[in-house]
Amino acid sequence: MITKQEILQLLADTECHSVERTTSKNDMDKFCQAICAFSNKMRTLILFILTSFLIGCTSSQTEKTIEVAFTEDISDYTPLVKDILESNPKGNIKIKFGDGTYKFYPEKAYEKYITISNNDNGVKRIVFPMQNMQNVTIEGSENTCFMFHGELVPFFLDKSNNINISNIDIDYDFSFVLEGLVIANNKAENSFDLKIDKDTPYEIRNNRLFFKGYDWEIGLGENIVFDSETRSPIYYTSKFELGNNQNIDAKEIEGGIVRLSGFTSADVPPVGSVYTDKGPHGKNRKIPGFAIQRSSDINLKGIRIFRAGAMALIAEKSNNITLDSYQVKVRDGLNKMLSASADATHFVNCSGLIKMNNCVFQSMLDDATNVHGTYMYVTEFISENEVALSFGHYQQEGFQFGEPGDTILFVDRSNMMPLAKFAVKEIKQIDENHYILTTDKDISAYKDMSIAVDNISHYPDLEITNCSVRYNRARSLLISTSGKVNIENNYFASMMAGIRICGDANYWFESGRVSDVTIKNNTFEDLGKGGHSPQAILQIDPVIPKENRKDGIFHGKIVFENNTIKTFDNQVIYALSVDTLIIRGNKFEDSKTHSAIYPDLSVIDAQYCKNIVIENNDFSNWKNNFSFSIVECTNVEGSDIKKNEIKENPNKYFYEN
């Protein structure tokens, strides 16, 4: 016979304390006696019902609320946050912060070695580590700011679900990017004088400039020049870029003014421009704002990130992420050009729905978002169903590529065409760059081919609405997901392409053919001004060698409809290897802001596509004597095709053209 103690123990085991709190001792005694009075069969049934109820009670358990008031007496909130999270390892907690600037330092932070795709792997010190946690809410007030000192990662989520973070500003004591005003230059000596911002500590050793933070320093490396008036990358900025140059001589002229010389760029930055540098490639993506891995149902609302020493947000193998009124921008009132030193958001092999609404992405040194998968490549066929794999790019190493049950796709690297699908039977990680994959079928037929492997079980749907992108280096959006994509009512004004849809198994190894993309009711303004190889407003450019482009079609359906394009250069749409491309009802306007960098290109350039419709677009305010270039496309139709010049004028500046 079941006893009262067993029933109470069942309550305790399920942690459903709310039943005990809301039930008097008298009533609990009667409840237990009633169950004990039933026959064995009835008791079994009642206990089954009770257990089911208690499990449900546990899953929907009311969050414990902890309020963290701001006080000047606490100089470092890191130990306090660490204690709260360690005391609630399963989650089911709400942490509420009040108004004030909460300071966090690295000395007492949680440490963990983390591999982070498209960033730099390493030991990270983390303020909010949430691992295997459920139902966590972190909530700020109207004026809640988290101020991080040194190399601290604010948030790391791993295998956690239902995480809600809202109304928090994220900032750092020092920028992770050097900025300075150019006050003099000398083209003959390839030098210029830089007035470094007063809030940037720096040191010159052995004629090399290093800039610093609380617990870090870095030398010069990747650089770009900004227009101090527009706050955007300067027109034709490629003329002033050095690439990843670490051999620039530095000499202090006077306090705060440094002469940099030894440039090999085509020109020196003009007086009045702002030179920026984030350090050498491979060392400058260490401190992301949010690192999210293998987690689900993540909601960020009212978050403002003013600085980050890598991507402001990077999510990998995670499901259902919503960003609402999420902002990456320079803090108001600061005379700065830059916020995050890399992308504002980045999603790798995620699933479910990624949704961004009312977001602001400004002043980053990379894209507003990049949504893609990851190609590994086969280095050896071990047996009839076993291959060795490696990553193609070092910043993917350590990525959790797959698990048993996932569906993988073999792709021919020479033409990007799919070969066959298999299921993952087993995957063993040897080290960060070497894996052994066992499939459920014989794969020996492909052993003489160069094979890329794509995990097609993890591609999300994507919605981006009512967002704004401006002042940043690189593109607005990179989209490589086979899920349904809707991009609507946004404003884009980046340095490079507005929307790039790619796919590449030979350099970045970022996978993902699109199947259904709608780009509607957006405004694109003065993009493509960097002066690198032409960046079209809509750039669809899977990396397929020219000699192999007849082998098949890579991308699915893309609709570009009712958008307004205001730009100075000639090419608006470049499309390669698309099954169905519809360009309809758009307004093309010549902004005349700058001279065209590539005046010989056609406004629309389509190559090796199957079905193209170009109709009802408004070119009345566009350039005179424009043309469409159509090469090796099967079915081309629409009202605009009949009215405008069609010729073969493929973009000769792109690779393989």
**Long-range CB contacts (within 8 A, 24+) of 588-593:** 588/617, 588/618, 588/619, 588/621, 588/622, 589/564, 589/565, 589/621, 589/622, 590/621, 590/622, 590/623, 591/525, 591/526, 591/566, 591/567, 592/568, 593/526, 593/568
Residue percentage of the chain with pLDDT more than 90: 87
Give the confidence band of 60 by pLDDT, cuts at 50, 70, 90: very low
Residue 39: is its pLDDT beyond 90?
A: no
Do 441 and 408 contact (CB within 8 A), yes or no? no
Helix (H, G, I), strand (E, B) or coil at 500: strand
Structure token pair of residue 366: 């990379």
Residue 286: is its pLDDT beyond 90?
A: yes
Let me know if residue 485 belongs to a domain. Answer: yes
The H or E element spanning position 79 is helix 78-87
| Amino acid at the residue 224 | I
Q: Please indicate, yes or no, whether residues 163 and 216 belong to a single structural domain of this protein.
A: no
Report pLDDT digits (tens) over 445-491: 999 999 999 999 999 999 999 999 999 999 999 999 999 999 999 99
Q: Please indicate, yes or no, whether residues 485 and 451 belong to a single structural domain of this protein.
A: no
Give the confidence band of 263 by pLDDT, cuts at 50, 70, 90: confident
Of 421, 455, 489, which closes a domain? Answer: 455
Tell me the C-alpha distance between 357 and 355, whole Å: 7
Give the confidence band of 241 by pLDDT, cuts at 50, 70, 90: confident
User: Would you state the pLDDT for residue 533?
Assistant: 85
Residue 274: is its pLDDT beyond 80?
A: yes
Extract the runs of DSSP E, i.e. beta strands, from 471-627.
477-479, 484-488, 491-493, 499-501, 510-511, 516-520, 523-525, 538-540, 555-561, 564-567, 573-576, 578-584, 587-590, 604-607, 611-615, 618-621
Report pLDDT digits (tens) over 295-319: 999 999 999 999 999 999 999 999 9
User: Would you state the pLDDT for residue 194?
Assistant: 98
Residue 15: is its pLDDT beyond 80?
A: no
Over residues 55-68, the mean pLDDT reads 67
User: Would you state the pLDDT for residue 246?
Assistant: 72
User: Would you state the pLDDT for residue 586?
Assistant: 99
Let me know if residue 282 belongs to a domain. Answer: no
Q: Say how many domains are in the chain.
A: 5
Q: Please indicate, yes or no, whether residues 251 and 300 belong to a single structural domain of this protein.
A: no
Let me know if residue 65 belongs to a domain. Answer: no
Report pLDDT digits (tens) over 559-609: 999 999 999 999 999 999 999 999 999 999 999 999 999 999 999 999 999
Q: Please indicate, yes or no, whether residues 391 and 530 belong to a single structural domain of this protein.
A: no
- The range of the structural domain enclosing residue 478 comes to 459-647
Pairing of strands 407-412, 346-348: unpaired
Q: Please indicate, yes or no, whether residues 434 and 411 belong to a single structural domain of this protein.
A: yes
What are the backbone dihedrals phi and psi of residue 87, each rounded to the nearest 5 degrees, phi first? -80, -10
Residue 41: is its pLDDT beyond 50?
A: no
Report pLDDT digits (tens) over 147-206: 999 999 999 999 999 999 999 999 999 999 999 999 999 999 999 999 999 999 999 999
In sequence order, the 6+-apart residues with CB closer than 8 A to the CB of 390 are: 376, 377, 379, 433, 434, 435
| Amino acid at the residue 379 | T
Residue the block writes with tokens 């993009």? 527
Q: Please indicate, yes or no, whether residues 577 and 484 belong to a single structural domain of this protein.
A: yes
Structure token pair of residue 514: 């699109």
Do 31 and 23 contact (CB within 8 A), yes or no? yes
User: Would you state the pLDDT for residue 55?
Assistant: 37
How far lies 591's CA from each of 123, 232, 372, 527, 594, in Å? 48, 17, 32, 11, 8
Number of H helices, E strands in the chain: 6, 53
CATH number at residue 481: 2.160.20
Average per-residue pLDDT for the chain: 92
Tell me the C-alpha distance between 631 and 147, whole Å: 54
**Long-range CB contacts (within 8 A, 24+) of 647-656:** 647/602, 649/600, 649/601, 649/602, 649/605, 650/605, 650/607, 651/534, 651/571, 651/574, 651/601, 651/605, 653/533, 653/534, 653/598, 654/533, 654/534, 654/541, 654/574, 655/533, 655/543, 656/544, 656/545, 656/546
Let me know if residue 40 belongs to a domain. Answer: yes
Let me know if residue 657 belongs to a domain. Answer: no
* CB atoms inside a 10 Å sphere around CB 551: 16
Give the confidence band of 32 by pLDDT, cuts at 50, 70, 90: low
Residue the block writes with tokens 């000596």? 189
Let me know if residue 286 belongs to a domain. Answer: no
User: Would you state the pLDDT for residue 264?
Assistant: 86
Q: Please indicate, yes or no, whether residues 444 and 565 belong to a single structural domain of this protein.
A: no
Residue 8: is its pLDDT beyond 50?
A: no
What is the greatest pairwise CA distance in the chain? 100
Over residues 215-238, the mean pLDDT reads 96
How far lies 143's CA from each of 93, 170, 335, 339, in Å? 22, 11, 21, 19
Residue 620: is its pLDDT beyond 70?
A: yes
User: Would you state the pLDDT for residue 654?
Assistant: 77
Q: Please indicate, yes or no, whether residues 167 and 315 belong to a single structural domain of this protein.
A: yes
Closest CA to 343 of 326, 364, 318: 364
Let me know if residue 368 belongs to a domain. Answer: no
The H or E element spanning position 13 is helix 4-13
Let me know if residue 600 belongs to a domain. Answer: yes
Give the confidence band of 10 by pLDDT, cuts at 50, 70, 90: very low
Tell me the C-alpha distance between 626 and 535, whole Å: 18
Closest CA to 287 of 160, 176, 159, 399: 176
User: Would you state the pLDDT for residue 186?
Assistant: 96
Residue 422 burial (C-beta neighbours within 10 Å; 0-12, 13-18, 19+): buried
Q: Please indicate, yes or no, whether residues 85 and 144 belong to a single structural domain of this protein.
A: yes
Q: Please indicate, yes or no, whether residues 305 and 379 belong to a single structural domain of this protein.
A: no
Do 411 and 375 contact (CB within 8 A), yes or no? yes
Of 214, 242, 277, which closes a domain? Answer: 277
Report pLDDT digits (tens) over 495-549: 999 999 999 999 999 999 999 999 999 999 999 999 988 889 999 999 999 999 9
Q: Please indicate, yes or no, whether residues 204 and 255 belong to a single structural domain of this protein.
A: yes
Of 437, 455, 473, which closes a domain? Answer: 455
User: Would you state the pLDDT for residue 50?
Assistant: 42
Do 304 and 329 contact (CB within 8 A), yes or no? yes
User: Would you state the pLDDT for residue 17?
Assistant: 38
CATH number at residue 391: 2.40.10
Residue 395: is its pLDDT beyond 60?
A: yes
Q: Please indicate, yes or no, whether residues 158 and 182 belong to a single structural domain of this protein.
A: no
The alpha carbon of 341 is separated from its chain's Cα centroid by a whole number of angstroms, namely 12
Over residues 8-35, the mean pLDDT reads 46
Residue the block writes with tokens 């073969």? 648
